[in-house]
Structure 1
Amino acid sequence: MRFNKLFKIRNLIAVLAIGCIVAGTPVSAQDSTAAAPTEISAGSSTAASATDAADMDAFASELVKVSESATSDDSSTLAAADEVVDNSTLYKTAAYYTILFILVCIFLAIIGKILRVYELTREIQGKRGALNWNSIQGGIFVAFMILGLYGTYWSYDTWGYVVTGESASVHGDRIDGMMLVTVAITTLVFVITQVLLFWFIFRYRGQETRKAYYYPHNNAIERLWTIVPAFVLTILVVFGFFTWRSITNPPEADQKAALSVEVTGEQFKWNVRYAGADNQLGVRNYKLTTPTNSLGIDYADKKSWDDRLGPEIVLPVNKPVRVTINSKDVLHSFYMPDFRVQMNAVPGMPTYFQFTPKLTTEEMREKKGNPAFDYVLLCAKICGSGHYNMQYKVKVVSEKEYNEWIAQQPLFFNDDMKKEMQQKVASSSEAATIDNNIALNN
Structure 2
Amino acid sequence: MSLKKLIGNKTMAALAVLITVFANTSAFAQEAAAAATAKPVDMGPIYKSTLFYILLFLLLCLFIAIVGKALRVYELTQETQGKQSINWDKVNGIIFAIFLVVGLYGVYWEYTVHGEMLLPEAASEHGKKIDQMFNITLIITTIVFILTHIVLFAFAYFYKSSNNRKAYYYPHNNALERVWTIIPALVLTVLVLMGFLTWRSIFYKIEDPNNKPLSIEVTSSQFQWDIRYPGADGVVGKKNYKKITAINALGIDFTDKNSLDDQIGDEIVLPVNKPVRFILTSKDVLHSFYMPHFRVQLNTVPGMTSYFEFTPTITTEQMKVKTNDPSFKYLLLCAKICGANHYNMQKPVRVVTQAEYDAWVVKQTPYLTNDLRKAFNLPVIAEPVAAPAKADTTAKDTVKTNQIALKK
Task: Please tell me the TM-score bracket, short chain as reference.
Answer: 0.7 to 0.9
For the pair 1:394 / 2:367, whether they are aligned, the reply is: no
TM normalised by structure 2 equals 0.78
For the pair 1:232 / 2:218, whether they are aligned, the reply is: no
Matches of 1:253 and 1:142, distance apart in 2: 60
Matches of 1:423 and 1:400, distance apart in 2: 33
Which among 79, 89, 101 is matched to residue 123 of structure 1?
79
Which among 80, 88, 105 is matched to residue 150 of structure 1?
105
SS at match of 1:401: helix
SS at match of 1:325: strand
State how 1:174-185 maps to structure 2 within 5 Å.
Answer: 174-185=129-140
1:414–1:89 distance in 2 versus 1, CA, 3 Å = closer
Q: Per-residue displacement from partner, 1:353-386 (whole Å, max 9, x unpaired)? A: 1111111111111111111111100000111122
Matches of 1:355 and 1:278, distance apart in 2: 21
**Conserved 8 A contact 1:141-1:202:** yes
Cα drift, residue 417 of structure 1: 1.6
Between structures 1 and 2, the one with greater helix share: 1
Cα drift, residue 162 of structure 1: 2.3
For the pair 1:304 / 2:259, whether they are aligned, the reply is: yes
For the pair 1:411 / 2:356, whether they are aligned, the reply is: no
% of aligned pairs identical? 52
Structure 1 residue aligned with 2:296:
341
Matches of 2:311 and 2:191, distance apart in 1: 23
Which among 133, 152, 158 is matched to residue 203 of structure 1?
158
- Structure 1 residue ranges without an equivalent (≥5): 1-24, 33-83, 425-442
Cα drift, residue 164 of structure 1: 5.2
Structure 1 residue aligned with 2:176:
221
Matches of 1:219 and 1:286, distance apart in 2: 62
**Conserved 8 A contact 2:120-2:292:** no
Structure 1 residue aligned with 2:18:
none
Amino acid at match of 2:370: D
Cα drift, residue 418 of structure 1: 1.0
Amino acid at match of 1:377: L
Matches of 1:267 and 1:92, distance apart in 2: 35
1:299–1:236 distance in 2 versus 1, CA, 3 Å = same
Which among 316, 324, 330 is matched to residue 361 of structure 1?
316
1:30–1:150 distance in 2 versus 1, CA, 3 Å = closer
Q: Per-residue displacement from partner, 1:93-120 (whole Å, max 9, x unpaired)? A: 5666655554544444334333333332
Structure 1 residue aligned with 2:201:
246
Structure 1 residue aligned with 2:387:
none
Cα drift, residue 414 of structure 1: 2.1
Cα drift, residue 319 of structure 1: 0.8
TM normalised by structure 1 equals 0.73
**Conserved 8 A contact 2:331-2:348:** yes
Return 250-259 or 93-102, whichever deviates more: 93-102
SS at match of 2:349: strand
Structure 2 residue aligned with 1:434:
none
Length, aligned pairs only: 347
Matches of 1:139 and 1:89, distance apart in 2: 39
Amino acid at match of 1:124: T
Matches of 1:316 and 1:102, distance apart in 2: 58
Matches of 2:289 and 2:368, distance apart in 1: 25
Matches of 1:96 and 1:377, distance apart in 2: 38
State how 1:417-432 maps to structure 2 within 5 Å.
Answer: 417-422=372-377
Q: Per-residue displacement from partner, 1:2-57 (whole Å, max 9, x unpaired)? A: xxxxxxxxxxxxxxxxxxxxxxx99x99949xxxxxxxxxxxxxxxxxxxxxxxxx
Cα drift, residue 92 of structure 1: 5.6
SS at match of 1:153: helix
Matches of 1:382 and 1:29, distance apart in 2: 47
Amino acid at match of 2:367: F
Structure 1 residue aligned with 2:332:
377
Aligned residues: CA RMSD: 2.7
Structure 2 residue aligned with 1:264:
219
Cα drift, residue 253 of structure 1: 3.3
SS at match of 1:354: strand
Cα drift, residue 243 of structure 1: 1.5
State how 1:11-90 maps to structure 2 within 5 Å.
Answer: 31=37, 88=42
Matches of 1:30 and 1:145, distance apart in 2: 46
Amino acid at match of 1:226: T
Amino acid at match of 1:160: G
Which among 318, 325, 332 is matched to residue 287 of structure 2?
332
- Structure 2 residue ranges without an equivalent (≥5): 1-30, 380-408
Cα drift, residue 307 of structure 1: 1.2
1:423–1:251 distance in 2 versus 1, CA, 3 Å = closer
1:91–1:389 distance in 2 versus 1, CA, 3 Å = closer
Matches of 1:259 and 1:304, distance apart in 2: 16
